[in-house]
Amino acid sequence: MITTQTSPTGGGGLLSPRSPNSQPPFLSVSVTDPAKMGNGVQAYISYKVVTKTNFPEYQGPEKIVIRRYTDFVWLNDRLFEKYKGIFIPPLPEKNTVEKFRFSAEFIEMRRQSLDTFVNRIASHHELQQSEDLRTFLQADEQTMERARSQDTGIFKKKPSDLMQIFRDVQSKVTDVVLGKEKPVEESNPEYEKLKRYIFELEDHVAEAQKHAYRLVKRHRELGQSLADFGNAIKLLGACEGDALGTAFSELGAKSEMLSYKLQREAHHLLMNFEEPLKDYVRAVQSIKGTIAERANAFRQQCELAESIKLKEIDLNKLRLLRSEKMLDAEHEYEELKADGQEATRRFETIVRLMNEEIVRFQDQKTQDMGRAFHEFAKGQARLANAIADAWRSLLPKLDSLSVS
Amino acid sequence: MITTQRSPTGGGGGGSQSPRSPSSQPPFLSVSVTDPAKMGNGVQAYISYKVITKTNLPEYQGSEKIVIRRYTDFVWLCDRLFEKYKGIFIPPLPEKSTVEKFRFSAEFIEMRRQALDTFVNRIALHHELQQSEDLRTFLQADEQTMERARSQDTGIFKKKPSDLMSIFRGVQSKVTDVVLGKEKPVEESNSEYDKFKKYIFELEDHLAEAQKHAYRLVKRHRELGQSLADFGKAIKLLGACEGDALGTAFSELGAKSEMLSIKLQREAHHLLMNFEEPLKDYVRAVQSIKGTITERANAFRQQCELTETIKLKEIDLNKMRLIRSEKMLDAEHEYEELKVAGQEATRRFETIVKLMNEEIVRFQDQKTQDMGRAFHEFAKGQARLANAIADAWRSLIPKLDSLSVS
């Protein structure tokens, strides 16, 4: 599911000759062709990432590279670190259940999510200019590998740690919200409302997604039962013979046909409804990460403001005493003031970006959820109509049997 | 589910009161089993039923009679009829429930009441069985008389209800043994009848399988309904959290889900009572037929054995005549007795054959009707549910459309 973001530069998808001024700028990416590489526990899936663009910063109109899940994680981490304030598009989870890791369904769901991930970045007016994105989309595999290993600290992490980062951030934010740390919170009622909404939303969407997944399961189970039932009724029909036997056989055949439709609807529900809900959950978790970044930036700003005040008091003391340490103190004071200005700038940038992001998020989620629930209602109605038609078509025949 | 049987006397089943002038109205016998009530406490507790009889048949005590009966009384009646009317397919009884915790559930009690009502009505509508004296006892006797009748029966009658099934099981294995030729091969060589036997055995397997899967379908409806209810509730909470157009859409979707969940539970119940129960009833009917098949095989075997014995006795007798033995008179008496017994055995067997031929025709018609009705209920209920589901979701699509205008 690709969300189209109207970027200031517009977006399109056509190949264009290398004359950047003759066509509107576009950057179009697709993640395709999952292929299993390696053997045993080392095995993994690689994807083809195809980039078509006329951006001058890029190497050419089309580029194909091979990437794996950890490369996407690297990109996500870099963007999260560099674009504080922006809601970084979410990644699909690392799958820890071994036996599903290479199932066709899992691979396809992951490919779709990764495709959505990259496209959201490519459609975002700020993120699409990222140098790390360019590296991700164009660098050969050696360069990519080197970039991945160069990162130290929180970057040099296994993908499963990404979730751990979020969890830490979550608890940090909770601590901040609960006032467990020094109460250095913004007093911004609008922002408070947003934070409360995001926390509540995460619970409710996760709950809805859990039950949506159960619905998928129930469809599969009902479909299986209908198939078994149809098979048993057909055998019964073969045993009975005559009008009754014919009626049984037709009923059995209808059951098996409907069972097949139920399985198809279960798959449709999974891909077009349950996945978007899962995507929504991840997006909200990503926002929580940004909320934590903002809290950190605010706290840094406050701490520096404190330090500057204390330093000023110190400095004045030293001036009175005409101390020889005064010059050094003056230097430190100037440095602190510069840091303070930098911290303030960083925090204000985050606030500004977040304000834009919140608007973008509200619109996008309304569209995405509207579409997902539309798919849900449409699929359910379509299935139900097929079921009703199938059974109604049998009623005349069954009527004639029970003429009493 | 009451099956209407045309009796030779021309009366169908009716339900109106009539004055005591048997010639002015067609004869009728109408019974209903109602008002289940829990009696007693603890492990001794049981369910009693009101059995209401309305009739103008002269053998009965009056135009209306109400008695109280329990499951074991029905079992007694079934046993007596099975013993006395060999050749007739005795209507089947619902099983004794051995699972303690379900014994007094509302659903189980209602299903049993329906099955017992069907049982008695089938007997009352059967042109032979309705004349049974045991039926009259069952429908009219006061509880003391009923209790005495139950305890007077000895041998295979004086059994706990669960033994009815073990009788059938014993009978089943006997029939299987006979069919597999494990006993002395004394089988009829009647190809029509063989075809029928093979059909009945195959039918039982297929029916039991179909009934099992019908029950699973009921379960799946319940599970889907429960999931839809949970889902609806979660979506409503999500809607309350979101607010605006999205929140309204969610809340409506949640409300529809909860409404459909109720319909699914109702359809599950409808499936259980109007489809799965009739299938179970069909399975029991086929098992009852297997009992009759065994009775016929026993009667045939008895006839054959007596014929053998008579032949051997004749040879003995002739020997004794030649040597002018003094035992000859006794032997002649035994021979005559054996011949009478042989005629009786033949008569009994031929009655069973005649009755079974009529019963097979009756059974085919009845089952076609019953199954036609059951599957009609199935298709109707499923279609009705599906249409309701389709309508509910379609009604939401315009609202959801307006959200995702892109």
Nearest to A384 among B227, B393, B400 (CB): B393
* Per-residue model confidence (pLDDT) at position B400: 86
Q: Indicate if the pLDDT at residue B193 is higher than 60.
A: yes
Nearest to A383 by CA among A269, A273, A290: A269
**Rounded CA gap, A248 and A398, in Å?**
9
Q: What is the mean pLDDT of chain A?
A: 85
**pLDDT level of residue B143 (50, 70, 90 thresholds):** confident
Least confident of A92-106, A154-168, B95-109, B344-358: A154-168
Put simply, the answer to whether A208 touches B393 (Cβ < 8 Å) is no
Put simply, the answer to whether A222 touches B220 (Cβ < 8 Å) is yes
Å between A216 CA and nearest CA of chain B: 10
* Per-residue model confidence (pLDDT) at position B255: 95
* Per-residue model confidence (pLDDT) at position B164: 42
* Per-residue model confidence (pLDDT) at position B342: 92
The mean pLDDT value for B41-53 works out to 90
Segment B61-115, tens digit of pLDDT? 888 999 999 999 999 999 999 999 999 999 999 988 766 666 778 888 999 999 9
Contact A264, A171 (CB under 8 A): no
Q: What is the mean pLDDT of chain B?
A: 85
Put simply, the answer to whether A373 touches B223 (Cβ < 8 Å) is no
Predicted ipTM beyond 0.90: no
Å between B366 CA and nearest CA of chain A: 9
Q: Indicate if the pLDDT at residue B117 is higher than 70.
A: yes
Å between A376 CA and nearest CA of chain B: 9
Put simply, the answer to whether B380 touches A395 (Cβ < 8 Å) is yes
Residue A160 CB contacts under 8 Å (≥ 6 apart), including other chains: A94, A96
Contact A76, A238 (CB under 8 A): no
* Per-residue model confidence (pLDDT) at position A3: 41
Q: Residue by residue, what is the 3-state secondary structure of chain A?
A: CCCCCCCCCCCCCCCCCCCCCCCCCCEEEEEEEEEEECCHHHCEEEEEEEEEECCCCCCCCEEEEEEEHHHHHHHHHHHHHHCCCCCCCCCCCCCCCHHHCCCHHHHHHHHHHHHHHHHHHHHCCCHHHCHHHHHHHHCCHHHHHHHHHHCCCCCCCCHHHHHHHHHHHHHHHHHHHHCCCCCCCCCCHHHHHHHHHHHHHHHHHHHHHHHHHHHHHHHHHHHHHHHHHHHHHHHHHHHHCHHHHHHHHHHHHHHHHHHHHHHHHHHHHHHHHHHHHHHHHHHHHHHHHHHHHHHHHHHHHHHHHHHHHHHHHHHHHHHHHCCCCHHHHHHHHHHHHHHHHHHHHHHHHHHHHHHHHHHHHHHHHHHHHHHHHHHHHHHHHHHHHHHHHHHHHHHHHHHHHCCC
Q: Which two tokens stand for residue A66?
A: 């091979």
Put simply, the answer to whether B213 touches A232 (Cβ < 8 Å) is yes
The mean pLDDT value for B277-293 works out to 93
CB atoms within 10 A of CB B243: 11
Put simply, the answer to whether A381 touches B400 (Cβ < 8 Å) is no
Q: Indicate if the pLDDT at residue B169 is higher than 70.
A: no
Question: Of all helices (H) and strands (E), which one includes residue B33?
Answer: strand B29-39
**Rounded CA gap, A215 and B224, in Å?**
7
Q: How many CB pairs under 8 A join A and B?
A: 196
Q: Indicate if the pLDDT at residue A223 is higher than 90.
A: yes
Segment A93-116, tens digit of pLDDT? 887 676 667 788 889 999 999 999
Q: Indicate if the pLDDT at residue B167 is higher than 70.
A: no
Contact B241, B216 (CB under 8 A): no
Put simply, the answer to whether B371 touches A210 (Cβ < 8 Å) is no
Report pTM. Answer: 0.80
Q: Which two tokens stand for residue B97?
A: 């429930």
**Rounded CA gap, B55 and B135, in Å?**
13
Determine the 3-state secondary structure of B345 from DSSP.
Answer: helix
Q: Indicate if the pLDDT at residue B5 is higher than 90.
A: no
**Rounded CA gap, B149 and A283, in Å?**
77
- Going from the C-alpha of B6 to that of each of A72, B10, B11, B82, B303, the distances in angstroms are 79, 7, 7, 21, 33
- Going from the C-alpha of B360 to that of each of A311, B168, B192, B208, the distances in angstroms are 108, 20, 12, 20
State the distance between the two ends of chain B, measured CA to CA, in whole angstroms.
Answer: 56
Of all residues in chain B, the percent with pLDDT exceeding 90 is 59
CA A60 to chain centre: 28
User: For residue A91, is it left (φ>0), alpha (ψ between -120 and 50) or beta?
Assistant: beta
Put simply, the answer to whether B387 touches A391 (Cβ < 8 Å) is no
Place of tokens 């004071």: A333
Nearest to B372 among A235, A367, A401 (CB): A401
**Rounded CA gap, B160 and B165, in Å?**
10
Put simply, the answer to whether A401 touches B216 (Cβ < 8 Å) is no
Nearest to A233 among B210, B237, B406 (CB): B210
Which residues in B lie closer than 8 A to residue A210 (C-beta atoms)? Answer: 234
Put simply, the answer to whether B250 touches A374 (Cβ < 8 Å) is no
Q: For chain A, how long is the longest CA-to-CA vector?
A: 118
Q: Indicate if the pLDDT at residue B15 is higher than 50.
A: no
Q: For an interface test with B, which of A217, A229, A361, A395 has the most B Cβ atoms less than 10 Å from its Cβ?
A: A229
Residue A312 CB contacts under 8 Å (≥ 6 apart), including other chains: A333
CB atoms within 10 A of CB B345: 19
Which residues in A lie closer than 8 A to residue B242 (C-beta atoms)? Answer: 201
**Rounded CA gap, B134 and A40, in Å?**
76
**Rounded CA gap, B116 and B122, in Å?**
10
**Rounded CA gap, B309 and B299, in Å?**
15
Put simply, the answer to whether B386 touches A384 (Cβ < 8 Å) is yes
Put simply, the answer to whether A232 touches B238 (Cβ < 8 Å) is no
The mean pLDDT value for B355-366 works out to 92
- Beta-strand relationship, A62-68 and A44-53: antiparallel
Segment A22-38, tens digit of pLDDT? 678 889 999 999 999 98
Put simply, the answer to whether B403 touches A239 (Cβ < 8 Å) is no
- Say which residue, A40 or A13, is predicted with more confidence: A40
The values of phi and psi at residue B7, to 5°, are: -90, 150
* Per-residue model confidence (pLDDT) at position B172: 46
Q: Indicate if the pLDDT at residue B406 is higher than 50.
A: no
Segment A41-90, tens digit of pLDDT? 888 899 999 999 988 888 888 999 999 999 999 999 999 999 999 999 99
Put simply, the answer to whether A384 touches B389 (Cβ < 8 Å) is yes
**Rounded CA gap, B246 and A366, in Å?**
6
A56 by Cβ neighbours in 10 Å (0-12 / 13-18 / 19+) ranks as exposed
* Per-residue model confidence (pLDDT) at position A180: 53
Nearest to A136 by CA among A39, A27, A33, A43: A27
Which residues in B lie closer than 8 A to residue A244 (C-beta atoms)? Answer: 367-368, 371-372
Determine the 3-state secondary structure of B67 from DSSP.
Answer: strand
Å between A37 CA and nearest CA of chain B: 39
Q: Which two tokens stand for residue A294?
A: 């903002």
Q: Which two tokens stand for residue A43?
A: 């095995």
Q: For an interface test with B, which of A4, A219, A244 has the most B Cβ atoms less than 10 Å from its Cβ?
A: A244
* Per-residue model confidence (pLDDT) at position A181: 55
Q: Which two tokens stand for residue B46?
A: 């049981």
Report CA torsion sign: B302, B305, B307, B309: negative
A191 by Cβ neighbours in 10 Å (0-12 / 13-18 / 19+) ranks as middle
Question: Of all helices (H) and strands (E), which one includes residue B51?
Answer: strand B46-55
**Rounded CA gap, B288 and B89, in Å?**
6
Kindly report the length of chain A. 404
- Going from the C-alpha of B287 to that of each of B94, B167, B292, the distances in angstroms are 12, 11, 9
* Per-residue model confidence (pLDDT) at position A40: 82
Which residues in B lie closer than 8 A to residue A364 (C-beta atoms)? Answer: none
Report CA torsion sign: B231, B234, B240, B241: negative
**Rounded CA gap, B329 and B116, in Å?**
55
**Rounded CA gap, A151 and B221, in Å?**
54
Q: Indicate if the pLDDT at residue B142 is higher than 60.
A: yes
Å between B10 CA and nearest CA of chain A: 16
Nearest to A367 among B202, B372, B404 (CB): B404
Put simply, the answer to whether A208 touches B235 (Cβ < 8 Å) is yes
**Rounded CA gap, A291 and A357, in Å?**
12
Q: For an interface test with A, which of B196, B201, B206 has the most A Cβ atoms less than 10 Å from its Cβ?
A: B206
Segment B310-331, tens digit of pLDDT? 999 899 888 888 887 788 888 8
The mean pLDDT value for B124-151 works out to 90
Q: For an interface test with A, which of B197, B201, B238 has the most A Cβ atoms less than 10 Å from its Cβ?
A: B238
**Rounded CA gap, A312 and A330, in Å?**
9
Amino acid at A331: H
CB atoms within 10 A of CB A59: 13
* Per-residue model confidence (pLDDT) at position A185: 80
**pLDDT level of residue A16 (50, 70, 90 thresholds):** very low
Contact B274, B217 (CB under 8 A): no
Which residues in B lie closer than 8 A to residue A374 (C-beta atoms)? Answer: 397, 400-401, 403-404
